[in-house]
Amino acid sequence: MNVGVVGNPNYPDLGAFLGTLQQQALRYGLKLYTEERIQTLWPTGDGGTPPPLGEALQAKLDCLITLGGDGTLLRGARLLNGADTPILGLNLGRVGFLTTAGPDSLDWALDAVARQAYTTEPRLALQSA
């Protein structure tokens, strides 16, 4: 399963969280792709840095995980450019109205993604000129 990762590099613990995400993804057999702006934050250990997200967007992305807050989730949705790809928002901030889970529920969330045991909520995107 191809999973894209979009993150907000302003979160101080994002690098450590990416390491945890990478280990869990290996356990669940998920192939990760990363956006360029967080590429240098990935640990260099197990599996190395995931390939660029652009490669997966050219083919087929099964899920997009956003790490940050609502703004990061909205930026991830824009990257998908209308594709029918589920987005899992992990809130690393304080509020997160649009995000689904937090850092403590990463294992639960990745298990659901790997088993495709989730439901989606359709959302609208408005664009103004």
Residue of 70, 84, 107, 111 marked catalytic: 70
- For the chain (129 residues), the mean pLDDT of every run of 10, in chain order, is 96 93 95 94 81 80 94 93 91 85 92 93 79
Question: Which CATH number is associated with domain 2-115?
Answer: 3.40.50.10330
Q: Is 70 a catalytic residue?
A: yes
The pTM of the whole model exceeds 0.75: yes
Predicted local distance difference test score (pLDDT) of residue 128: 78
**Cα pseudo-dihedral 28, 89, 7, 62, rounded to 10:** 50
Which of 25, 50, 33 lies closest to 111, judged by CA?
Answer: 25
CA-atom Rg of the chain in angstroms: 14
| The pLDDT value given to residue 21 | 95
